Structure 1
Amino acid sequence: MRSLRLLLVTPAFHGYHRSIARAFAGRGYDVLTHCYDAYETFADKLRNKACFEFPARLGFDDPARAEAWATRRALAALSTAQPDRVVVIKGDTLGPEFWQDLDARRTPRILWLYDDLRRHRYTETFLRAVGPVVSYARAEALQLSERGIEATFVPNAFDPELALPSGRRTGEIVFVGARYPNRVELLTQLGQAGVPVRAYGREWSHHPFDRLRTWELARPSVPAERDIPLDRAYAVQAEAAAAVNIHGLQAGLAMRTFEVPGMGGLQLADRQDIGEFYDVGKEVMVFGSPSELVDLALRAKRDPAWSERLRAAGRRRTLAQHTFAHRVAEVDALWA
């Protein structure tokens, strides 16, 4: 008996699709992956800047062109793969032709949203018809269910196959991720309190190329590095004296919620609802104010025994309950 062929239609976003694909393969699927927004060659990247990003900066945004480009490629991937099942990650830049083709093929599909509803273009009518919907936010999954949409809460996760803890410690407090005002404020206050801090990402980086490709020249005074691949981000957060998990205006918990403890890092998080997944005070730490964050960061530097206890406990909990294998098992149970 042949393995079921599963097509993963996904954004390229930090390569998370690789972790999801590995988890599905671990359940016996023959997994094919199509990144609908991947600009893999220099020509593709140049085309994206010239045809999409630059016009948008000038106020001539034409999302229909980007949608048509992504949809043509996704339809070609469907035709080539001839899958038995399809999992679409996010997918809201794909046009109606893609979903109509899935309908015509009668291919079972699941829509997996690991971002907030307000960042998607989907209507309730569409979500009600599309089939099982997975949301990374419990409140949003509940909201959808109350409105007659087949929705399930599946939180984010950690991939233990991506990297292994090194045991090294840098002594810095780090943040890896996009630059939002609340993150700038907290990292700045840490620095002003004498805590060695470092941010990673193109929006923090002072490199001239990163200033140009993000279409801005100004940068906060926070010490910063350029973009790093996901496996390196795993390592950086684990090797730091502590990694700060600062959320933006988002409903669910970020990937780093599980990545930092999963790698044996010490997580300082800004949300109490992390307690649904970890024992606060024994596996992770939560701060409620900038002063509490400063206190925790200083303790992380001066009390290695305390730090190592939390690191070990957080890693044990993550490996036992919060890997992509755990999450994909939940998603895999949703096929009609």
Structure 2
Amino acid sequence: MRAANRLLILSPAFHDYDVAFAAAFEQIGYETHTHLYDRFASLPQKVKNKVRFELPERLGRDTTALREEHANAGALAALREVKPDLVLVVKGDVLHPNVWQEIASRGIPVVLWLWDEVRRTRWQPDRLRVIPSVASYSALDVEAFRAEGINASYVPMGFDHLLEFPNGPVVPEITHIGARYPKREAILTDLYGRGFRVKSYGRDWSHDVRDRLRTWGGDRPELPAGRDLDRANAYATMRDCLATLNIHGDQDGFTMRTFEAAGVGAIQLCDRADVADYYEPDREILTFGSTDEAREQISRVQADPTWAGAIRDRARSRTLAEHTLVHRARAIAQLW
């Protein structure tokens, strides 16, 4: 006998967050099924992705239609196979209107969850208006959506507390895990140049030849760097280091890393004072507005391990009480 709340999650393939979302919804009673609409699983498929999509895009060609064609076929097949009662679409800007029409024709309640600012997606207001419920991690986007007549709700990111991650040795270094942006590179370079032990992880930082090929070559900063980490090892790395940096670009939403670093019990140095909406500065999280302030905060952590340990404990407790993906799943469930 089929479950009454069969949920299909249509998600991009990004650090297996689809698995995390599915586990969170299962915790609150849903039978979950996932489909990665942009996945290229095998090596031949990944090579095809480079040739068909990434290379033309680097040459200035618009591949929107091709990406929609690829995503459309798989998403429609998943809808017809799973026959869900509910659908959650994550980001979804490459899904063809046919997918949304299929969902509507079947009378399936659907929520679109945006975990990036809309300006960095292909979404336009006229397309968003026809979606019954839109959630976003960006409070500013939600405000703008509502002014445009879009049914929008604010749902931030969260921590996957269900994920098991390995134990490892404590390493007295400052870590950064994520893409390479100018602001991040400038801060890490400054810290490294002043004698701090730093290490950044990700394909854009790595000097490994495999990562150079994956990212079409290019120069790398002369900084200690590691390859991409899966989420389990990223969690362990943040927990086991002296402190981890959370540096934003032109974002108003807070990334997963904000809640993950706090959730694993890391000392998090965040470059945004408005993180106080979620964590209490100097008690659960450390903030900085300049590289000088970042250096001062790191020096405090080095000088007073007891104080730093209390911050770790409070950050983890606050996250488990308020900011897990299960909390976010409950918020999404109210929107169907």
Q: Which interval holds the TM-score relative to the shorter structure?
A: over 0.9
Residue 64 of structure 1 deviates from its aligned partner by: 1.1
Identity across the alignment (%): 44
Residue 298 in 1 paired to residue 305 in 2? no
TM-score (norm 1): 0.97
Q: Distance in 1 between matches of 2:166 and 2:229?
A: 17
Q: Distance in 1 between matches of 2:191 and 2:236?
A: 21
Asked whether the equivalents of residues 165 and 238 of structure 1 are also in contact (C-alpha less than 8 Å), the reply is no
Aligned to 1:239: 240
Report SS of the residue matched to 1:174: strand
Q: Distance in 1 between matches of 2:164 and 2:267?
A: 16
Residue 166 of structure 1 deviates from its aligned partner by: 4.0
Asked whether the equivalents of residues 11 and 89 of structure 2 are also in contact (C-alpha less than 8 Å), the reply is yes
Structure 1 residues 238, 59: CA separation in 2 closer, same or farther (over 3 Å shift)? same
Asked whether the equivalents of residues 243 and 260 of structure 1 are also in contact (C-alpha less than 8 Å), the reply is yes
Residue 307 of structure 1 deviates from its aligned partner by: 1.0
Structure 1 residues 110, 198: CA separation in 2 closer, same or farther (over 3 Å shift)? same
Residue 161 in 1 paired to residue 162 in 2? yes
Asked whether the equivalents of residues 163 and 234 of structure 1 are also in contact (C-alpha less than 8 Å), the reply is no
Q: Distance in 2 between matches of 1:56 and 1:333?
A: 38
Aligned to 2:96: 95
Q: Distance in 2 between matches of 1:59 and 1:143?
A: 30
**Letter matched to residue 263 of structure 1:** V
Q: Distance in 2 between matches of 1:167 and 1:282?
A: 25
Asked whether the equivalents of residues 160 and 262 of structure 1 are also in contact (C-alpha less than 8 Å), the reply is yes
Gaps of 5+ in 2: none
Residue 207 of structure 1 deviates from its aligned partner by: 0.7
Q: Distance in 1 between matches of 2:174 and 2:14?
A: 24
Residue 185 in 1 paired to residue 181 in 2? no
Residue 83 in 1 paired to residue 79 in 2? no
- 1:81-230 matches, cutoff 5 A: 81-163=82-164, 166=167, 168-230=169-231
Residue 164 of structure 1 deviates from its aligned partner by: 5.0
Aligned to 2:327: 326
Q: Distance in 1 between matches of 2:37 and 2:151?
A: 25
Q: Distance in 2 between matches of 1:43 and 1:66?
A: 17
Bigger CA drift: 55-64 or 283-292?
Answer: 55-64
TM-score (norm 2): 0.97
Residue 264 of structure 1 deviates from its aligned partner by: 0.6
Residue 167 of structure 1 deviates from its aligned partner by: 7.6
Residue 165 of structure 1 deviates from its aligned partner by: 7.7
Q: Distance in 1 between matches of 2:11 and 2:75?
A: 10
**Letter matched to residue 181 of structure 2:** Y
> For residues 112-156 of structure 1, what are the alpha-carbon distances to aligned partners after superposition, in whole Å with 9 as ceiling and x for unaligned?
001111011112122121111000011211221222211111111
Q: Distance in 1 between matches of 2:39 and 2:220?
A: 27
Residue 56 of structure 1 deviates from its aligned partner by: 2.3
Report SS of the residue matched to 1:13: coil
Q: Distance in 2 between matches of 1:241 and 1:215?
A: 32
Q: Distance in 1 between matches of 2:225 and 2:284?
A: 27
Aligned to 1:20: 21
Aligned to 2:6: 5
Q: Distance in 1 between matches of 2:47 and 2:325?
A: 34
Structure 1 residues 167, 265: CA separation in 2 closer, same or farther (over 3 Å shift)? farther
> For residues 181-237 of structure 1, what are the alpha-carbon distances to aligned partners after superposition, in whole Å with 9 as ceiling and x for unaligned?
000000001111111000000000001111111012300112100011011111111
Q: Distance in 2 between matches of 1:180 and 1:160?
A: 28
**Letter matched to residue 125 of structure 1:** D
Q: CA RMSD in A?
A: 1.4
Gaps of 5+ in 1: none
Residue 273 of structure 1 deviates from its aligned partner by: 0.9
Asked whether the equivalents of residues 193 and 294 of structure 1 are also in contact (C-alpha less than 8 Å), the reply is no
Q: Distance in 2 between matches of 1:256 and 1:57?
A: 28
Q: Distance in 1 between matches of 2:98 and 2:19?
A: 26
Structure 1 residues 251, 32: CA separation in 2 closer, same or farther (over 3 Å shift)? same
